[in-house]
Structure 1
Amino acid sequence: MTSRVTLISAAMSRALREARFDDGCSLDASAAARARAAAGGLPAADRLLVSPTVRCRETSEALGLDAVETLELAGLDVGRWRGLTLDEVSAEEPAGIALWLSDLGAAPHGGESVRALCERVARWLESSAEFDGRTLAVVEPEVVRAVAVKILDVSGPAFWRLDVPPLTATDVSGRSGRWNLRVGRALGPSEDGAGG
């Protein structure tokens, strides 16, 4: 049985533009419009899921998806750093941010470690192998990074070196333990005029 998962990275928000840890803000009007315009380029799916963040839910709605909120696909819980910019945290807690960026098991913010996020997302991906059909999920960039780290079987520090632009699709196909990855496809009509 082959499973297919398409991860859609959420549209732009003020927090993302300002390099601010997610603060629950809504999408920009222009980002919501771009998501609505991209809706026709989505592949047909048998299962629609969405991360519980505001940005992901609003992206899903703008794409015209009636997706089920899925806690396993939640973004990274950054605890008390929520709403702060990376520069603010660096100024207030330089040792904490240095530890967080160098040790994937660290959670100096009191939330979830990057390692815990990667493990949670890896468990979700493996359980998705039991689903015969295509899953489409609107998620935060760090969820896409965690999937890539799992599939490519690369060391944890690679997590920080993966850029996930807004409103791009990352396709995963295969079987449990043997996945293939296609990254960074812009949403919109494919070259042959049909959705991806």
Structure 2
Amino acid sequence: MTVWVMLVAPALGAELREARFGDDRPLTDAELAPVRALVAPRADRVLAAPSPRCAQSALALGLASEDEPALADLDAGSWRGRRIDELASSSPQLISSWLSDPDFAPPGGEPVTALLSRVGGWLDALPADTGRLLAVVEPAVVRAAVVHALALPPAAFWRLDVAPLTVTSLSGRAARWNLRCGAPLTLRQLP
């Protein structure tokens, strides 16, 4: 039986606009307004990453979601809440290592390879009778799922862009996935 996994990137919040490592700030009403005008694809089950941004985006799409810890964002450790340009100015070698070495972890954080393993393990453990599963997840989780599903080298992680409020779909099952990337969510029909 084919499993359908639809990964929806959440609304654009201040942390992404400011190129800031995730700090779990809630989205504002203005940031959620574009989400409320959209319709999510039909799903048998809905999950959300354990961040306010993902949970709020799911709710704004009219979805009742379950929290899924395996789909948490890449842990930035002590870099959490800091801007990338600040760190690049004060510690250019660390940022360079982070962007070029998938095994490098920020102090107290998680390397990309750990995220790939966590998300890949979650994907591979989905039962064949999962049906259509939709998950609202951070862009790093979408990238990790694509890298795993297509058996790309871990270094490809940083070469994938994920736009807010898009759907990346994987169909298949463990060890054999097909990809459909970056489809926009559809607008709600006005009454």
Distance 1:94 1:132 in 2: 44
Cα drift, residue 136 of structure 1: 0.5
Q: Deviations over 1:30-81 (max 9, x none)?
A: 3311111113xx2221111000011111101111111000000000110000
Distance 1:25 1:151 in 2: 30
Cα drift, residue 82 of structure 1: 0.5
- 1:29 pairs with 2:29: yes
Give the 3-state SS of the residue equivalent to 2:123 in structure 1: helix
Give the 3-state SS of the residue equivalent to 1:35 in structure 2: helix
1:89 aligned partner: 87
CA contact (8 A) 1:50 1:56 kept: yes
Any gaps of 5 or more consecutive residues in structure 2?
Answer: none
Cα RMSD (Å) of the superposition?
Answer: 1.5
Any gaps of 5 or more consecutive residues in structure 1?
Answer: none
The percentage of aligned residue pairs carrying the same residue is 48
CA contact (8 A) 2:149 2:177 kept: yes
TM-score normalized with structure 1 length: 0.92
Cα drift, residue 189 of structure 1: 5.2
Distance 2:59 2:162 in 1: 20
Distance 1:131 1:66 in 2: 20
Aligned pairs, number: 189
CA contact (8 A) 1:12 1:28 kept: no
Amino acid at match of 1:130: A
Distance 1:132 1:23 in 2: 32
CA contact (8 A) 1:8 1:170 kept: yes
CA contact (8 A) 2:49 2:73 kept: yes
1:38 aligned partner: 38
CA contact (8 A) 1:72 1:124 kept: yes
